[in-house]
């Protein structure tokens, strides 16, 4: 949703630039200092483009280039400034868009790195838990592998002889029943 609105805003900005460029053209016709400045820019641009065209076509570049008349120079400079302004705004919008995308990508990468670190931490924790469980299983296996007579246990008489309330009574009765069954 944001991207189409941003592109629409950029298009609107470019459209607004055209009247501003036209205003620059009008200002060039009124202000004498600005007029002389843009005439100099137009003459320099005219010399540059003419030399460039001559080099591209293979003609002599040392020939004298006639300057533009004042009105043509003002018109050419105003056109140049208008286009330069429009391209500057478009370039600034493009740079802003690229930087915005780069920030978004950086945030995504940071989030991905955090998720990866969390995953690694959980993985390490699970590996530690698995190792602990393996050790417990080994201990239980060793304990269960011992013969019955090697296992330390308290005699049943000692356990039953300690008074402990209702639990003691229950254990005593069970012990008596077990003793009768053995005989």
* Torsion angle defined by CA atoms of residues 154, 156, 158 and 162, in that order, rounded to the nearest 10 degrees: 120
Integer angstrom CA distances of residue 39 from 10, 36, 108 = 31, 5, 51
Query: Which pTM does this prediction carry?
Result: 0.48
Q: Which residues contact 160 (CB under 8 A, 6 or more apart)?
A: 168, 171, 172, 175
pLDDT of residue 167: 67
Question: Average pLDDT by consecutive 10-residue portion of the chain (183 residues)?
Answer: 67 72 72 84 88 83 80 80 76 86 93 96 96 90 72 54 63 69 61
Unique residue bearing structure tokens 């501003």: 20
pLDDT of residue 150: 53
pLDDT of residue 97: 86
Domain spans of the chain?
2-130, 155-183
Q: What is the DSSP letter of 148?
A: G
pLDDT of residue 149: 58
């Amino acid at each position: 949703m944001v991207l189409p609105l941003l592109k629409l805003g950029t298009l609107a900005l470019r459209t607004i630039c055209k009247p501003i460029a036209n205003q620059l053209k009008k200002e060039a016709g009124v202000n004498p200092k600005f007029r002389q400045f843009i005439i100099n820019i137009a003459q320099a641009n005219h010399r540059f483009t003419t030399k460039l065209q001559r080099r591209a076509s293979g003609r002599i570049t040392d020939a004298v280039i006639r300057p533009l008349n004042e009105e043509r120079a003002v018109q050419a400079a105003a056109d140049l400034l208008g286009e330069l302004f429009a391209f500057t705004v478009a370039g600034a919008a493009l740079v802003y868009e690229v930087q915005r995308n780069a920030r978004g990508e950086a945030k995504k990468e940071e989030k991905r790195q955090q998720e990866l670190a969390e995953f690694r931490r959980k993985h390490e924790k699970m590996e530690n838990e698995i190792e602990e469980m393996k050790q417990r299983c080994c201990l239980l296996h060793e304990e269960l592998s011992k013969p019955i007579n090697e296992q330390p246990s308290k005699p049943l008489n000692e356990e039953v002889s300690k008074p402990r309330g209702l639990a003691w009574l229950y254990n005593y009765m069970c012990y008596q029943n077990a003793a009768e069954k053995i005989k």
